[in-house]
Amino acid sequence: MSSDLTRLDAATLAEKIHSREVSAVEAAQAHLDRIAAVEGDVHAFLHVAGESALESAALVDASIAAGTAPASPLAGVPLALKDVFATIDMPTTCGSRILEGWRPPYDATLTSRLRAAGITILGKTNMDEFAMGSSTEYSAYGPTHNPWALDRIAGGSGGGSAAALAAFEAPLAIGTDTGGSIRQPAAVTGTVGVKPTYGGVSRYGLVACASSLDQGGPCARTVLDAALLHEVIAGHDPLDSTSIDAPVPAVVEAARLGATGDLSGLRVGVVRELGGEGYQPGVRASFDAALRRLEKLGAEVVEVSCPHFEYGLAAYYLILPSEVSSNLARFDAMRYGLRVEKGASAEEVMAATREAGFGPEVKRRIILGTYALSSGYYDAYYGQAQKVRTLISRDFAAAFAQVDVLVSPTAPTTAFPIGEKIDDPLAMYLNDLATIPTNLAGVAGMSVPSGLAEEDGLPVGLQIMAPALGEAVMYRVGAAFEAARNADESGPLIARIPELEVAAR
Amino acid sequence: MSAEPGTPSAPGSSTVPDPSAVSDPSAGEAISRDEVAHLARLARLAVTDEELDVFAGQLDVILGSVARVGEVAAEDIPPTSHAVPLQNVFRQDVRRPGLSQEQALSGAPAAEEGRFRVPRILGEEA
């Protein structure tokens, strides 16, 4: 019974809870049991909040028993929250030593919305330190292991959230995507991850990596579940001045429509610059099969060119470190977080604290950003990168004038072995080649499972991109593709994941 | 702050690098070990000698790659700082609750008499 509940998608589980076939407490307990059984192998969580999860679930049960309508379509469903959102009742570490054990004095807006929706927060998930990385290996608390192959990375920075879904530790998760941190982990774990339009989900209480790029979003095992979660967390927030004051796109309706399987009349653009050389053969083969499947659904598939995308990675690794070097100046050893009492002056204490509290990737990016913002280099690096950003946005605008959505492989490779790229930052950065342009332009993107690569049997993701606030058409295409893939392959991709060994309790 | 020339006001701010440590990006080596050390000081990172050895090589490779943005002809292109056009966002000038003193100090490494307790800020000679 317990293990069955962890295999259900969120929509089905919610139905059972709301019809009182299953209690929210049973659902929470089943997932807590699963976490206890597999966490030793997976390490998706940095903190498990068993007691508060059960208390929150009991409130949902009491409310339903009293005849009150559920607070949301996902009331009572368990969720894994990336450890970068402030939570008043749980530590918020961002995968960093500098915030070890820190308890924020307030909840992020996203956290509050999850609570108000009656969603059960199981705990906080592992991540690359301050969301900088593509493998979760830069977490100060050790890497997350990919449930498809435990010696492989689960992607990053949100490897913990994606692995929690793939290991059936939670049916829903939250990630943040600055350059691909939701979509790339989704791709390498065979799950669904959505980066909403910039400003679509509040950043209030989301610890900043690069403020002009960061965006929280939903992660799940199905497109419909991601859509249901999207509608819970999205929407205008007066506490975030970059939050978009416009209605949330009707993504649940779009996902349901898409699942009926007709994309006729829709134009799908294949980005010429996001594919070919540098992409693993099995990734390319899965992508080509995905294009044929979209055509079979009635979509018209055309090639489009976005000539400046090839400069996206370079622009990103100037803009992001610049913002990081400024944002992370707040970790000064004075107001919260770690303090290393070494040296006589505040300045020396700050330098010693940051040396001890930050890991190598964070230091590299702070130094790089400090360099890019230095006068003398500012125009050649940061200023020029901002102009390239404009050109990338214009490429998107021109492409979306011709097609409804753009597609590409989500990541150039499948999950690579843990340790393979840890000492080669540039090789690590290349993982985000296909996802970065979306963040630079602020448009929407998602990854849905497209298949397994022939050479290693590991999951491949299909990336679907849509214009700003164009999430509805993106979810429609994602759901149609998912339904067609499941029908052709007699079941969802995630059903093909090898069983994890369950630890004795 | 001490009066040492070139000491920055804050990490992450735009500050002129020590000219003696500046290398020419076109001259093969994008960034020198000395320059990395200088940047680390600006950013308040007390990096070790071993880290400097590693970072200098890695940052040189990264800078060599990101310098590609210079290949794009973009003289007349306006820069984008933000994905969506931003305007000042105002709210009604009415009181609303903020953090209590206790909450604000709850994560402080050291507090005293309701305030953050910090190490000495001024140098001996100041």
Is the CB of B14 less than 8 angstroms away from the CB of A345? no
A336: amino acid identity, one letter: Y
Paired tokens of A439: 């963040």
Is the CB of B22 less than 8 angstroms away from the CB of A468? no
B109 at A interface, C-beta within 8 A? yes
Is the CB of A105 less than 8 angstroms away from the CB of B22? no
Paired tokens of B120: 């000495």
Each residue's pLDDT tens digit, A29-85: 999 999 999 999 999 999 999 999 999 999 999 999 999 999 999 999 999 999 999
In a domain, A331, yes or no: no
The minimum CA-CA distance between B104 and chain A, rounded to whole Å, is: 7
In a domain, A161, yes or no: yes
Mean of the pLDDT values across residues A192-206? 98
In a domain, A117, yes or no: yes
Is the CB of B120 less than 8 angstroms away from the CB of A344? yes
Interface A-B: count of C-beta contacts within 8 A: 215
Distance, CA of A370 to CA of A364 (rounded, Å): 10
Q: What are phi and psi of B109, to 5 degrees?
A: -60, -30
DSSP state at residue A379: I
Report chain A's mean pLDDT, rounded to a whole number. Answer: 97
Q: How far is CA A415 from CA A105, A134, A141, A189, in A?
A: 37, 10, 20, 8
Distance, CA of A244 to CA of A318 (rounded, Å): 26
* pLDDT at residue number B123: 67
Q: How far is CA A379 from CA A384, A392, B85, in A?
A: 6, 18, 22
> How far does Cα A480 stand from its chain's mean position?
21
Share of chain A above pLDDT 70, in %: 99
* pLDDT at residue number A276: 87
Is the CB of A336 less than 8 angstroms away from the CB of B58? no
Spell out a b/e string for A437-446, using b for 16 or more CB atoms within 10 Å of the CB, else e.
Answer: bbbbbbbbbb
* pLDDT at residue number B14: 40
ipTM: 0.92
* pLDDT at residue number B28: 55
In a domain, A349, yes or no: no
Residues sharing a CB contact under 8 Å with residue A484, sequence separation 6 or more, in sequence order? A261, A293, A296, A297
Each residue's pLDDT tens digit, A390-444: 999 999 999 999 999 999 999 999 999 999 999 999 999 999 999 999 999 999 9
In a domain, A383, yes or no: no
Mutation site, A89, A197, A371, interface B, largest B CB count within 10 A: A371
The minimum CA-CA distance between B50 and chain A, rounded to whole Å, is: 12
In a domain, A33, yes or no: yes
Which residues face A460 on adjacent strands?
Answer: A451
Each residue's pLDDT tens digit, B4-24: 333 334 444 444 444 344 444
Q: In 3D, which of A242, A256, A240 has the Cα closest to residue A212?
A: A242
Q: Is residue B29 very low, low, confident or very high in pLDDT (cuts 50, 70, 90)?
A: confident
Chain B residues 76-105 with a CB less than 8 Å from chain A: 77-84, 86, 89, 91, 99, 103-104
For residue A337, give the nearest of B54, B79, B107 by CB distance.
B107
Is the CB of B54 less than 8 angstroms away from the CB of A360? yes
For residue B69, give the nearest of A103, A199, A384 by CB distance.
A384
B66 at A interface, C-beta within 8 A? yes
Q: Is residue A504 very low, low, confident or very high in pLDDT (cuts 50, 70, 90)?
A: low
User: Looking at chain A, which residue has its C-alpha nearest residue B50?
Assistant: A360
Three-state SS at A459:
strand
B116 at A interface, C-beta within 8 A? yes
Is the CB of A318 less than 8 angstroms away from the CB of B109? no
In a domain, A380, yes or no: no
Each residue's pLDDT tens digit, A144-178: 999 999 999 999 999 999 999 999 999 999 999 99
* pLDDT at residue number B87: 79
Residue entry with tokens 């080669």: A424
| Domain encompassing residue A216 | 2-310+388-496
pLDDT at A2 exceeding the cut of 90? no
Q: What is the pTM of this model?
A: 0.94
Do residues B19 and B12 touch, judged by C-beta distance below 8 A?
Answer: no
| Domain tally, chain A | 1
Q: Count of H helices and E strands in chain A?
A: 17, 13
The minimum CA-CA distance between B5 and chain A, rounded to whole Å, is: 16
How many alpha carbons lie under 13 Å from residue A200 in its C-beta half-sphere?
33
Q: Is residue A368 very low, low, confident or very high in pLDDT (cuts 50, 70, 90)?
A: very high
Query: Which long-range CB contacts under 8 A does A29-33 form with residues at least 24 apart?
Result: A29/A2, A29/A54, A30/A1, A30/A2, A30/A3, A30/A5, A30/A6, A31/A5, A31/A6, A31/A78, A31/A122, A31/A169, A31/A170, A31/A171, A32/A122, A33/A2, A33/A505
* pLDDT at residue number A319: 97
On chain A, the residues whose CB falls within 8 A of the CB of B47 are 355, 363
CATH of the domain at A277: 3.90.1300.10
Residues sharing a CB contact under 8 Å with residue A229, sequence separation 6 or more, in sequence order? A10, A74, A79, A172, A174, A218, A219, A220
Mean of the pLDDT values across residues B112-119? 95
* pLDDT at residue number B124: 64
Is the CB of A370 less than 8 angstroms away from the CB of B46? no
pLDDT at A484 exceeding the cut of 60? yes
Is the CB of A367 less than 8 angstroms away from the CB of B43? yes
Spell out a b/e string for A206-228, using b for 16 or more CB atoms within 10 Å of the CB, else e.
Answer: bbbbbebbbbbbbbbbbbbbbbb
How many C-beta atoms lie closer than 10 Å to residue A259's C-beta? 19
On chain B, the residues whose CB falls within 8 A of the CB of A97 are none
In a domain, A96, yes or no: yes
The minimum CA-CA distance between A447 and chain B, rounded to whole Å, is: 21
Paired tokens of B96: 């609303």
Q: Is residue A505 very low, low, confident or very high in pLDDT (cuts 50, 70, 90)?
A: low
Distance, CA of A393 to CA of A395 (rounded, Å): 5
Each residue's pLDDT tens digit, B54-94: 999 999 999 999 999 999 998 999 999 888 777 788 889 99
Distance, CA of A55 to CA of A120 (rounded, Å): 9
Active site residues of A: 82, 157, 181
Measured on CA atoms in the order B22, A132, A187, A44, is the torsion positive or negative?
A: positive
